[in-house]
Chains A and B, each alone.
Chain A
């Protein structure tokens, strides 16, 4: 990532929670990965996560449970079953405030410095960042990932049940995102007024109150 694309002062917790941040990213990369093409796996990395922008978009959903809840309500409105309980849990656990990891608005939307996390994950040989040239001659960061990472996450969740939340949340984030591209996800997130209205370098505000109201309204309607 070029220097000009980085904010002057990283809003993310760069100290004190590097392993947590790394684990969160690992869960996202794992859940968002897809099998590599036949025969192209190497050194045990048999899956690939496409796009750093996509990773950022997913990190945003994990770090801002209120935005995720709003998207989940969209799914509910679209008729997907079982989603409302997830939203209910999010508010019951006060996740929009307690699980909030603040992100700042940067040129391409919510930004979290992933470099430290990527370094740790690479050091432990859980992922391998690669750069790929696109058809339009642009480049994209992909992350190779494999059995070692999935075993590691599985074992970690067993040994430290508190960490299971990150895996679950990565899955939920994927549920609202599907296999959309990073660009498409960002476009989706720009639909949030608060998100798009936030000035550069400023922390993206919570929309917990209005989402809670939306949930309560939806919930009340569902109970009628």
Chain B
């Protein structure tokens, strides 16, 4: 896979992590993992001028060392004897480049002498200056004033000025990182549980080679910085993306591990159980009577009971009344019928009796005289002398009685209806009274029984407190799912990104290894059969038929391989055309480690060849003078303290 497929970078991660594309983009952005398939333009760093002024402890006259007009190519800082100021100068240069004063390894007396030091350098074509001033004889670093400035054609723009402390170092760091277009190397230190970041000082260290070192490249192997530097200098794409993803992944994984280990399954289960208990209690609570509101309903019910009872009593009274009325109506009806029947029967009986014609007096039983009743016009009773009642005279009475019977029937029916209505009303009222009474009775039973609500509330509160305690002891209960997704995305990002440069890296490292082998051989590292730099930054060496490693080389070999590595990187970078090495290499005392004339000559030749081969490379060699150097470095490119003279 190559960098050309980068357009699908996020899609590939989304597919691999099984997370939606939008979320992938969000997670990557949150961690600063950016798609970085192209390399920024290569920038070059060139030392232009070195100025060192001061007053030596034993002297009154100040001294001045000025090396101006420096540029690309090979430059030599030579002394005929040792301790003539070449290492002090180079260390001051190194310190200034790192923004550190007095810088590591500078002899205290030299720091004391110093009253003014500056370097002017170009980043591409733009001139910058780092300058330090203090009173000669002053040794406290806080007494020094450091200035970082950009030198435009006519003016000086001060970027940072102040005591030479960390803040100044940061300003220098920012300047170089920004101007050279470098990304910081990020790493996650699992043991300490923290993220580390390496900026300009770590990169700058790779530019200075002063004797043997622990690492092939630069001054630290921590957080695989040396490998990152190699990747950076030879121009591997995706490295920043990969580093960033990998760092974030480690941090997220660590966090996830902490979250999950902090809260054991047992605790989670226990919390779930307690929550279940709470739920059960809450269900119970719903079924419990609310005594206060129950008690509040009682007066209302009592009032209703009294009212309904009154209504029921009135209804019962009405029933009695209506029933009496009904009975009266019935009686009236019966009486009417009885009287009607009696009248009818009597009328009929009269009719039959009147058909009889008695012939004697009912009183004396003698026969009536003939014509006793004939004289009268109307029929008159022979006995009492009253007029006989005409037949049918009872009809009127009967008709009246019949009408009365009808009326009483109507009245009876009405009374019956009214009575049954009253009964219904009364029954309903009684039922209402009974219902209310029952309701009151139920409430009173409940009140007497009491409620478990208070106990339940207390139990729920206790359970909640226990959950809180458990959560407190085991860390907050957070949803791990988003973190898991984050981890998956970063893991996928790391893998996908790595796959994008892995093949290329292997190929480049093979080339670097070959160049390293070539230079090492030339510099007199003996019996080398093979050198292989792997993707983990380890250099495997086969020497005298035995496998060995960089750390097992003797100091002389170590230094030679380090210089070889610097040149190898430069060479491969040049060949590939992608290298991002700033092009400045400063070698201090490369011959110190028991180097034979022959080997030194080979090394100088290689260095000079490299300087010639790469037009924008500047190599400054500080060394005790040797013939090989004098013949290889033109005199105008040399500062040479001859004989017993110091450089300053």
Min Cβ gap A33→B in Å is 19
Q: A94-B334, A123-B362 are in contact. Are A17 and B352 (CB under 8 A)?
A: no
Among the 9-residue stretches B20-28, B118-126, B335-343, the one with 4 or more Cβ atoms under 8 Å from chain A is B335-343
A146 to chain B: closest CB distance in Å? 14
**Stretch of A78-86, A107-115, A152-160, A176-184 at the chain-chain interface:** A152-160
Judge whether B358 and A124 touch: CB under 8 Å. yes
User: For A13, A18, A19, which residue has the most chain B Cβ atoms within 10 angstroms?
Assistant: A19
Contact B353 A98 (CB under 8 A): no
Interface 1/0s, chain A 92-128, versus B by CB < 8 A? Answer: 0010011111000000000000000001101111100
Q: Which residues of the partner chain A approach B341 to less than 8 Å between Cβ atoms?
A: 98-99
The one of B345, B353, B358 in contact with A17, judged by C-beta atoms closer than 8 angstroms, is: B345
Does A123 contact B358, Cβ atoms closer than 8 Å?
yes
Q: Which of chain B's residues have a CB closer than 8 A to the CB of A156?
A: 348-349, 352
A-B contact count (CB 8 A): 72
**Is A19 in contact with B349, judged by CB distance below 8 angstroms?**
yes
* CB–CB A98/B358 < 8 A: no
Tell me if B495 counts as interface (CB < 8 A to partner A).
no
Verify if B431 is at the interface (C-beta below 8 Å from A). Answer: no
Asked whether any CB of chain A lies closer than 8 Å to the CB of B344, the reply is yes
Complex: A100 Cα to B358 Cα, angstroms? 32
Determine if B466 is an interface residue (Cβ-Cβ < 8 Å). Answer: no
Is B473's CB within 8 Å of the partner chain A?
no
- In the assembled complex, A22 has its CB within 8 A of some CB on chain B: yes
Q: Is the CB of B353 within 8 A of A120?
A: yes
Check B348 against A162 for contact (C-beta < 8 Å).
yes
- CB-CB < 8 A to B349: which residues of A? 19-20, 22-23, 156, 160, 163
For B383, list chain A residues within 8 Å (CB): 123
Q: A16 on the interface (CB 8 Å rule)? A: yes
> What's the least CB distance linking A150 to chain B, in Å?
14
Which B residue's beta carbon lies closest to that of A97? B334
Closest CB in chain B relative to A196 CB, distance in Å: 25
A125 touching B338 in the complex, CB below 8 Å, given contacts A160-B352, A162-B344: no
Q: Would A98 and B360 count as touching, CB distance under 8 A? A: no
Q: A19-B353, A124-B356, A155-B352 are in contact. Are A163 and B338 (CB under 8 A)?
A: no
State the CA gap A190–B138 with chains docked (Å).
157
With both chains docked as a complex, state the minimum distance between the C-beta of A202 and any C-beta of chain B, in angstroms: 18
Interface size on B, residues (CB 8 A): 21
Which B residues lie within 8 Å of A124 (CB)? 353, 356, 358
- B residues less than 8 Å from A125 (CB atoms): 356, 358, 360
**Given A94-B334, A155-B352, A156-B352 in contact, is the A162-B345 Cβ separation under 8 Å?**
yes
**Residues of chain B within 8 A of A126, CB atoms compared:** 356
Contact, CB under 8 Å: B362 / A163: no
What is the number of residues of chain A that contact chain B, defined by CB distance less than 8 Å? 29
Contacts A16-B342, A100-B338: A22 and B353 contacting too (C-beta < 8 A)?
A: yes
B462 touches A (CB below 8 Å): no
Segment 7-27 of A: residues with Cβ below 8 Å from B: 13, 16-20, 22-23
Nearest Cβ in chain A — how far from B568, in angstroms?
130
Closest to B360 in A: A125
CA gap between A196 and B353 in the complex, in Å? 36
Instruction: Give the residues in chain B near A166, CB-CB below 8 Å.
Output: 345
Query: Does B468 interact with chain A (Cβ within 8 Å)?
Result: no
Within 8 A of A (CB), among B342-369: 342-353, 356, 358, 360, 362
The CA of A122 and the CA of B345, in the complex, are separated in Å by: 20
A122→B349 CA distance, assembly (Å): 15
Choose among A20, A94, A119 the residue that contacts B342 (Cβ–Cβ < 8 A).
A20
Shortest beta-carbon distance from A191 to chain B in Å? 27
B372-390 with Cβ < 8 A to chain A: 383
Within the complex, the shortest CB–CB distance from A28 to chain B, in Å, comes to 14
| A18:B352 contact, CB within 8 angstroms | no
**Which of A16, A98, A119, A160 is in CB contact (< 8 Å) with B334?**
A98
Tell me the bound Cα distance from A215 to B346 in angstroms: 31
Q: How far is the CB of A188 from chain B (nearest CB, A)?
A: 26
Contact assessment for B334 and A20 in the assembled complex, using a CB-CB cutoff below 8 Å: no
Min distance, Cβ B327 to any Cβ of chain A, angstroms: 12
Contact B351 A160 (CB under 8 A): yes
Whether the Cβ atoms of B358 and A19 lie closer than 8 Å is no
Q: A20-B346, A125-B358, A163-B348 are in contact. Are A99 and B353 (CB under 8 A)?
A: no
CB-CB < 8 A to A160: which residues of B? 348-349, 351-352
Chain B min CB distance to A70 (Å): 19
Contact B343 A17 (CB under 8 A): yes
A162 contact set on B, CB distance < 8 A: 344-345, 348
With beta carbons under 8 angstroms apart, the residue of B346, B351, B362 that contacts A119 is B362
Within the complex, which residue of A23, A100, A101 is in contact with B352, where a contact is CB–CB below 8 Å? Answer: A23
- A42–chain B nearest beta-carbon distance, Å: 13
* The residue from B338, B351, B352, B362 contacting A98, defined by CB atoms under 8 A apart: B338
Instruction: Name which residue of chain B comes closest to A166, CB basis.
Output: B345
Inter-chain CA distance A162–B341, complex, in Å, is 9
- Please encode chain A, from 131 to 175, with 1 for each CB lying within 8 Å of some chain B CB and 0 for all others: 000000000000000000000100110011011001000000000
- Measured CB to CB, the closest approach of chain A to B256, in angstroms, equals 92
Minimum CB distance partner of A158 in chain B: B352
Interface residues of B in 520-572 (CB under 8 A from A): none
A64 to B521: give the CA distance in the assembly, Å. 158
Shortest C-beta distance, B645 to chain A (Å), equals 156
Check A18–B344 contact: CB distance below 8 A: no
**Chain A nearest Cβ from B250, distance in angstroms:** 103
Q: Is the CB of B345 within 8 A of A163?
A: yes
Residue among B346, B352, B358, B360 with max Cβ neighbours from chain A (10 Å): B352
Query: In the assembled complex, which residues on chain A have CB atoms less than 8 Å from the CB atom of B348?
Result: 20, 156, 160, 162-163
A122 touches B362 (CB 8 A): yes
Q: Which A residues touch B345, using CB under 8 A?
A: 17, 20, 23, 162-163, 166
Bound CA span A159–B347, Å: 13
Instruction: Give Cα distance in the complex from A119 to B352, angstroms.
Output: 16
Residues of chain A contacted by B353 (CB below 8 angstroms): 19, 22-23, 120, 124
Which residues in window 575-618 of B have CB below 8 A to A?
none
Return B293 CB to nearest CB of chain A, in Å. Answer: 54
Is A16's CB under 8 angstroms from B343's CB?
yes
Pairwise interchain contact B342-A163, C-beta atoms closer than 8 A: no
* Residues of chain B lying within 8 A (CB to CB) of residue A155: 352
What would 10 more interface pairs be, CB under 8 Å, given A22-B353, A156-B352?
Answer: A20-B349, A23-B352, A23-B353, A94-B337, A98-B338, A98-B341, A99-B341, A159-B351, A160-B349, A160-B352
Contact sample, A vs B, 25 pairs, CB 8 Å cutoff: A16-B342, A16-B343, A17-B342, A17-B343, A17-B346, A20-B346, A23-B345, A23-B349, A100-B338, A101-B342, A119-B362, A120-B353, A122-B362, A123-B358, A123-B362, A123-B383, A124-B358, A125-B360, A152-B352, A156-B348, A156-B349, A159-B351, A160-B348, A162-B345, A162-B348
Instruction: List residues of chain B with CB under 8 Å of any chain A CB.
Output: 334, 337-338, 341-353, 356, 358, 360, 362, 383
Binding site for B on A (CB under 8 A): 13, 16-20, 22-23, 94, 97-101, 119-120, 122-126, 152, 155-156, 159-160, 162-163, 166
- 4 closest A-B pairs by CB: A123-B362, A19-B349, A160-B348, A20-B346
